[in-house]
Amino acid sequence: MLILTHSAQFFDTLLMYLSKMIKKLLNTLLQPKESAYMDAKIWIQKILLEEKFKKN
């Protein structure tokens, strides 16, 4: 019976770490990165400036 108690505690701990790892993985995949946002912002500004000065 002692073995079952320790194995249940082990699997509870393992399940807790697994759920934390899945949450972190989903957060990194679903949340946009700040650097990607800044890169897109810079490219959009560059395109808008090029269009503005080509017309003049």
CA distance 46 to 56: 16
pLDDT for position 38: 75
Tens-level pLDDT at each residue, the chain (56 residues): 456 677 888 888 899 999 999 999 998 888 766 666 777 888 889 888 888 887 65
pLDDT for position 36: 67
Domain residue extents for the chain: 2-55
Give the CA dihedral 19, 24, 26, 28, nearest 10 degrees: -170
